[in-house]
Structure 1
Amino acid sequence: MKFIDMLLFGIYPYVATAIFFLGCIMRYEREQYTWRAQSSQILDKKYFRFASVFFHIGIIMIFAGHFAGLVIPYEVWELFGISLATKQLIAMGVGGIFGIICFIGLTLLVYRRLFNPRVRASSSLMDTLILLLIYWQLVLGILTIFVSTGHMDGYVMKGLMSWSRYLLTFRPAEAIEFIDGLHWIYKAHVFWGITLFVLFPFSRLVHIWSVPVGYLGRNYQVVRRRFGAK
């Protein structure tokens, strides 16, 4: 079991990180015409905007929560008077709310992708695979909330945060000690989350890098009608 944990949670994260960054760079350099979201809104607009908004709001907040939970050291939380048990409770509450929001939107998107003939015909295998993987990962994440109700002492929270810390400081042998005894559902959630980074460069998810942040500070574009034009 130690060997499997070392392989999946000690070595695999570094392999996934290398594939993630190198793959994105190569994709951008060699296939820029494929670097887009490839929206299928024009094929079927029914419920699309509602589903897309719910999905994106949910997934962005979930990602931010995971980043804050795994990357920010727990000592920082304690400086603000937030114990691990309290942090776990906050994570369960906020994660549950945005998890449900994301689940509603993603369920509609998955149904549309699989059962709408026009959308399905325009979808690649990777389009469907990545959507189903995100859906599976979301379901696992929601299920972890129910498992977490059985231990509200912050033990799992500290274990995952310590695992992340030791990986980020290149100490994988010590990192797996913190994930070794965790419930299988947490391990599955972590494994498939890492796998998403492996598939990222080969899917339409690369459009995340191109989010138009610059538009937020851009001056208004003034469009004037030419005199005498009809």
Structure 2
Amino acid sequence: MSWLDILLWGIAPYLMVVVLVGGTIWRYRYDKFGWTTRSSELYESRLLRIGSPLFHFGLLVVIIGHVIGLIIPKSLTDAVGLSQDAYHVQALAIAWCTLM
């Protein structure tokens, strides 16, 4: 493995988790009263009223797609005769349908 592979797949994911947890703790300690549940401010703009639900729907589809991709074992796709390229094309087609 190259040093780039080690950096991208061995170090970066753990570094991102540390940044996420550390940033959350820092924000809670130093900006405790900045956390608010007033989400109606998001919908004041007409474009955000349309875009925000679509953005969240897209995120939901991406997360569900990744979970399904992790659940389906390679042995199952091999058993039904689905090549890896066809599997990825199918995933991209489903993702493209969410954009329509």
Q: TM-score, normalised by structure 2?
A: 0.65
SS for the counterpart of 1:88 is: helix
Aligned residues: 96
Identity over aligned residues, as a percent?
A: 24
Aligned to 1:74: 73
Summarize the alignment of residues 176-187 of structure 1 with structure 2, pairs less than 5 Å apart. Answer: none
Q: Displacement of 1:29 after TM fit?
A: 4.6
Alpha-carbon spacing, 1:20–1:72, altered in 2? closer, same or farther (3 Å): farther
Q: Compare relative contact order (CA 8 Å, sep 6+) and give the higher one, 1 or 2.
A: 1
Aligned to 1:18: 18
Q: Displacement of 1:89 after TM fit?
A: 2.6
SS for the counterpart of 2:17 is: helix
Alpha-carbon spacing, 1:73–1:46, altered in 2? closer, same or farther (3 Å): closer
Letter in 2 for 1:78: L
In the alignment, the residues of structure 2 paired with residue 3 and residue 18 of structure 1 have an alpha-carbon distance, to the nearest angstrom, of 21
Letter in 2 for 1:74: P
Aligned to 1:214: none
In the alignment, the residues of structure 2 paired with residue 20 and residue 82 of structure 1 have an alpha-carbon distance, to the nearest angstrom, of 40
In the alignment, the residues of structure 2 paired with residue 91 and residue 97 of structure 1 have an alpha-carbon distance, to the nearest angstrom, of 10
SS for the counterpart of 2:28 is: helix
Alpha-carbon spacing, 1:82–1:51, altered in 2? closer, same or farther (3 Å): farther
Summarize the alignment of residues 207-218 of structure 1 with structure 2, pairs less than 5 Å apart. Answer: none
Alpha-carbon spacing, 1:63–1:3, altered in 2? closer, same or farther (3 Å): same
SS for the counterpart of 2:43 is: coil
Question: Could you say which structure has the larger radius of gyration?
Answer: 1
In the alignment, the residues of structure 2 paired with residue 25 and residue 81 of structure 1 have an alpha-carbon distance, to the nearest angstrom, of 47
In the alignment, the residues of structure 2 paired with residue 96 and residue 68 of structure 1 have an alpha-carbon distance, to the nearest angstrom, of 16
In the alignment, the residues of structure 2 paired with residue 92 and residue 3 of structure 1 have an alpha-carbon distance, to the nearest angstrom, of 30
Aligned to 1:53: 53
Gaps of 5+ in 1: 102-230
In the alignment, the residues of structure 2 paired with residue 52 and residue 32 of structure 1 have an alpha-carbon distance, to the nearest angstrom, of 25
Gaps of 5+ in 2: none
Aligned to 1:34: 34
Q: Displacement of 1:12 after TM fit?
A: 0.9
List per-residue Cα deviations over 1:156-195 (Å, max 9, x = no partner).
xxxxxxxxxxxxxxxxxxxxxxxxxxxxxxxxxxxxxxxx
Alpha-carbon spacing, 1:49–1:86, altered in 2? closer, same or farther (3 Å): same
Letter in 2 for 1:41: Y
